[in-house]
Each structure stands twice: as C-alpha cells, then as structure tokens.
Amino acid sequence: MWEERLQIEGPYHFDLILERLSMDPLNAVDVNNRTVKVPIYEPEREVATIQAVGEVEAPEFIIKGRNEKTKESVQEKLAHIFQWHVSLKDVDKHFAETDLHEIFAQHRGTPLILDFSPYTCLIKCIIHQQLNLKFAMTLTERFVHTFGEEIDGVWFYPTPEKTASLAIEELRELQFSQRKAEYAIGLSQMIVNGELNLEELSVESDEMIMKTLVKIRGIGPWTAQNFLLFGLGRPNLFPIGDVGIQNALKKLYKLEAKPDHPAMEQFSEAWKPYLSYASLYLWRSIETTE
C-alpha cells in the first residue's frame, strides 16, 4: 500500500466532479466522504482511491494505491484522468466575457474528467448511441456486470479480448440491438487483431483521429468526438449533433426549438479554443435541473 498527498491550483470543485461521476452506477463514489475509487487498467489491474481534503480554491487530495511498484504510473494516469495539470483559471477567464458566463460561475471549477480508459470510453459511446440516458446506463451496467470484473468494490469493463470473444447472441440477451452487438464485438476484434492501436492513435491530431475512427463500423462523428473529449481530454470539441447540447442551448437562449447546426456553429465561435469546456458546462446546466 502507498499514500500520497497532492495539492493543485484552484479553482477545482471536486464535489461537483463526484456529483457528476455518481450519475453512473458503475462508479464507486462516496459523496459524503468525498472519495472515488478508480479502476486502473494498465500496466496491471488495480484500484486507486482519491479523497478530497481541500476546498475549491485550495484543492488537496489524499491518494492511495495498492502496489508500490506501479505507484508512479498510477499517479500519472490519475493526473491525466482528473486533468490536474489544466489551469481552470484560464478557462474561467475566457468564458467570463461570453454568453456562458453565468453557467461557468454556477459550476466554477468543474474540470473535464476523462473515462478511466480509452477503450472503455469507446465501448460506452457505442452502447449509449441513440438511447436515452437511463436505459443506456442500464445496458452498460448489464454488460459490465456480466462480462467484466469486480476488484475491491470497483467494476472493471471487460477487456477487448473478452468482448472480442463474445457471440452476438450473448449481447442480444442483455437487450443489445443486433447492430450494437456487432459494433462492440467488431471494434474489440480490431483492437485484439492489431488493426486499431488506441495508444498510438491517441497522440495524433484531432482531425487524424476523427478520420481514423469514422471509418470503423459503428463509429460516427458523435462517437469520435466524444472519444476525443472524454477518452483523450482534447480541449476544443463541440459535438453539434449532441441532443443534450442542443437542449442546453435552447434553454440558454430561450429558443422555441433546438438550434440547427449553423446556429450552433455561430454561437460557439466565441468559445474557442475551449469548446470542450463549453460542451461540459452546457451539459451540466441541464443535468442539474432535469
């Protein structure tokens, strides 16, 4: 076992992070004790625990892990997942002069938290495609509980090897559609066969990653953009096809109908180069009221 204390620059609102993470029943979140247990997939599976002991303007954490040998790599992964290296002061300053200033004030210090691995991000996006959020989470939970692994109270998604070996009928029994089952298994088989290397892809430009991913059956622009945003933490993504963002803009600008794509492009021009944060805070603006 190992334990470290970490201080980072504020603002950083860990309690709002826990609130958002707790929306997913697969996440091991304890809001009262301000902790989350994080599944670490590589170099070997283990569980790390983060507990907030600081405040928004002076964030401080106690981080615990189980294996001293992987301590450094675990700390690096946690720093990446929780975006501890990003200055939210710069983001706040940028949006203070935009139409989103009230939303950013309300959710001040909310960072862009990544999914716990790039592969699980893609699989989750495929499962969530064209489903309402409640059933999407239910279906994801069934998938992980059936084929994944639980360690120390934390659920790990099945490996690409496990998913690649499944029969379509096994996913259909969980209420996957035929195509969704084919997409999840097909993606996993590409990774196992070496046709798709997410680690190598992750260092490419946004454009190259989009171009590569949309060639894969079952991955369209929405899924590719969400992978860039929540799988890799790219800062300037604005998924204009996302219904949640459309609804948030409808509410913000008091529109009679959801905005079309040209209008969304026009609205978002002033939010560059932090479009990912605009996306996140717009989602937050409706998650907390609906």
**Is 242 among the residues known to form the active site?**
yes
112 and 83 in contact (C-beta within 8 Å)?
A: yes
Domains and their CATH numbers in the chain: 2-85 (3.30.310.20), 118-232 (1.10.340.30)
Q: Looking at residue 131, what is its pLDDT?
A: 85
Residues in contact with 201: Cβ distance below 8 Å, sequence separation at least 6, in sequence order: 209, 212, 213
Phi then psi for residue 215, to 5 deg, are -80, -15
Degrees, nearest 5: CA angle 12-16-21: 115
Question: 211-220: buried (b, 16+ CB within 10 Å) or exposed (e) per residue?
Answer: eebeebebbe
Q: Looking at residue 195, what is its pLDDT?
A: 96
Question: One digit per residue, pLDDT tens: the chain, 290 residues?
Answer: 999 999 999 999 999 999 989 999 999 999 999 999 999 998 889 999 999 999 999 999 999 998 899 999 999 999 999 999 999 999 999 999 999 999 999 999 999 999 999 999 999 999 998 888 899 999 999 999 999 999 999 999 999 999 999 999 999 999 999 999 999 999 999 999 999 999 999 999 999 999 999 999 999 998 999 999 999 999 999 998 888 999 999 999 999 999 999 999 999 999 999 999 999 999 999 986 44
The Cα 30–Cα 107 span in angstroms is 20
Q: Looking at residue 33, what is its pLDDT?
A: 97
Q: Which of 15, 30, 90, 242 is catalytic?
A: 242
If 0-12 CB within 10 Å is exposed, 13-18 middle and 19+ buried, where does residue 90 land? exposed
Q: Looking at residue 290, what is its pLDDT?
A: 44
What distance separates the 2 farthest-apart alpha carbons in the chain?
A: 57
Q: Looking at residue 287, what is its pLDDT?
A: 81
Q: Looking at residue 288, what is its pLDDT?
A: 60
Q: Looking at residue 160, what is its pLDDT?
A: 97
